[in-house]
Amino acid sequence: MGTAIAFYILAALILTGGVLVITAKSAVHSVVWLVGTIIAIAALYVVQHAEFLAVIQVLVYAGGIVVLYLFVVMLVNLKRPAEAIVHPQRRERTGLLLGGALLAQFAAVAFYAFNSPQVGTAATYSARGNVEAVARALYVEYLVPFEVASVLLLVAMVGAIVLARRDA
């Protein structure tokens, strides 16, 4: 019951936030809605007993990545509206249609999923918090991917610095 209420409220928040992100006129407003959506998703993770992931979501996504977006939006100080020019070959309706088609497809899949066996709450697989479980998985089972991810981040960092340097 409690889960259901939380789910519906959060789902409403997430979807509204998502729609506002892509419809907002000003990019700064978009960023604000993105933050809202991400925090709502973090709350959703808490409902799903993924507390560690929820905190990381807020810390890394909301506190880090989206701040980067905000910085760039504020630095890119456009002299004319960002979307003033439309390419003649742009087909917005087709885009919407494709999105709708994808949603329909997903809906079909979800329809099947509704009939799949129901799973109880997840408290069983992480008795005392799930930090330990996640850490074990991350550092034991997925150690190599973890290291690869860190190399990826390093490369991305170097790349971003090279791109952003003015005298490059």
Partner 1 sequence: MTITPGHWLALSAALFTIGLIGVLVRRNLIIIFMAIELMLNAGNIALVTFSNLHQQVSGQVFALFVIAVAAAEAAVGLGIVLALYRNKETVNIDEITVMRW
Partner 2 sequence: MTTNRDTATSAFDTDELVINMGPQHPSTHGVLRLVLRLDGERVIDMDVVIGYLHRGVEKLTEQRDYTQIVLLTDRMDYVAAASNNLGYVETVEKLMSLEVPKRAQYIRTVLAELQRIASHLVWLGTHAMDIGAVTVFLYCLRERELVLDLFEEYCGARLTYNAMRVGGLPMDLSTGWEAKVRAFCDLLPGKIDDYETLLTNNRIWLERTKDVGVISGADATAIGLTGPALRASGVRRDVRKDEPYAAYKDFDFEVPLGTRGDTYDRYTVRLIEMRQSVRIVQQALDGMPDGPVMGKVPRLIKPPAGETYHAIESPKGELGYFIVSDGQSLSPYRLRVRPPSLCNLQALPQLARGHLVADVVALIGTIDIVLGEVDR
Partner 3 sequence: MIDMVVIPVFKMLVVITAVLSAVAYMVLLERKVQAWVQVRLGPMRVGPHGVLQPIADVLKLITKEDVRPASADRFLFTLAPILVVVPALIVFAVVPFGTSTTMFGKEISLYITDLDIGLLYIVSVASIGLYGLILGGWASNSKYPLLSSLRASAQIVSYEVAVTMTLVSLIVTAGSLSLVEIVKAQEAHGVWYVFIQPVAFVIFVIGALAETNRAPFDLPEAEQELVGGFHTEYSGMRFALFFLAEYTNMIVVSAVGVTMFLGGWLAPFSSVSWLAWLGLVPGWVWFSLKTFLLLSLFLWIRATLPRYRYDQLMRLGWKVLIPLALVNLAVSAVLKVLL
> Residues with Cβ < 8 Å from 156, sequence gap 6 or more?
none
Smallest gap from residue 81 Cβ to partner 2 (A):
17
Annotate each residue in 55-94 with x if it binds partner 1 (CB under 8 A) or - if it does not, as one string.
-xx--xx--xxx-xx--xx-xx-xx--xxxxxx--x-x-x
What is the footprint of partner 2 within residues 62-101 (CB under 8 A)?
75, 77
Give the number of other Cβ atoms within 10 Å of residue 89's Cβ. Answer: 5
| Residue 41 binds partner 3, judged by CB under 8 A | no
| Residue 162 binds partner 2, judged by CB under 8 A | no
- Pick one of 36, 39, 43, 45: the residue that binds partner 1 (CB under 8 A): 45
| Residue 102 binds partner 1, judged by CB under 8 A | yes
Residue 66 gets the label, from left (phi > 0), alpha (psi -120 to 50) or beta, of alpha
> Residues with Cβ < 8 Å from 40, sequence gap 6 or more?
10, 13, 14, 17
| Residue 99 binds partner 3, judged by CB under 8 A | no
CB of 34 closer than 8 Å to CB of 17: yes
Nearer to partner 2, 87 or 165 (CB): 165
Smallest gap from residue 67 Cβ to partner 1 (A):
10
**Closest listed residue to residue 83, CA positions, set 19, 37, 23, 34:** 23
Give the number of other Cβ atoms within 10 Å of residue 31's Cβ. Answer: 21
Q: Which residues here bind partner 3, judged by CB under 8 A?
A: 26, 28-29, 32, 35, 39, 51-52, 55-56, 58-59, 62-64, 67, 70-71, 74, 128-129, 131
